Structure 1
């Protein structure tokens, strides 16, 4: 989603398969960069609070993870830097309490409109 969300269309499996084929042409330095970007994001979140990705029922939420990851890393990925956007627990709480975000995270999660809605709201709130 970080690199190709503008081309997303269901199904998620098909989208991931197409992206996987595209990524075969990535150069080694790009692969290393994205590995480092992901690691930087993980290091930052561990410092902030890794429990932000868990639902009230205690389950890991891939939709929340994906949305926060994209919102905080999108600018860094465009510039090929590792300076991810910093945020606060208060902003993440606002995101998690946003009714529209929650609806898009629970119903038809792989639907194009819901994916776009989640990413848009995360970018608005966290940036």
Structure 2
């Protein structure tokens, strides 16, 4: 039940973010997807759920790359969201370390935020 409520709220958040400028909305969507990915890792969800969350994150990154922002605009965008990106990166790294230490890694590929953020 909690999961349904959380995903419903995230969907509502994504829809409300659509009113922002395109690149800001996509960055908020990226942050939301990265947080879902971290949650999947933290809760030891199945590989299928991990793959789905990873795919949503990758799709959002592709949307950001399709915006074809200038180098300066892209740097400004990532700079504006840098604190949130660092926070979610640390969360994902900590979740991966914990999962590996507990021996429940399930052959999940390592998630490196920098791979998503092609600057």
Question: What's the TM-score once normalised by structure 1's chain length?
Answer: 0.28
Q: TM-score, normalised by structure 2?
A: 0.29
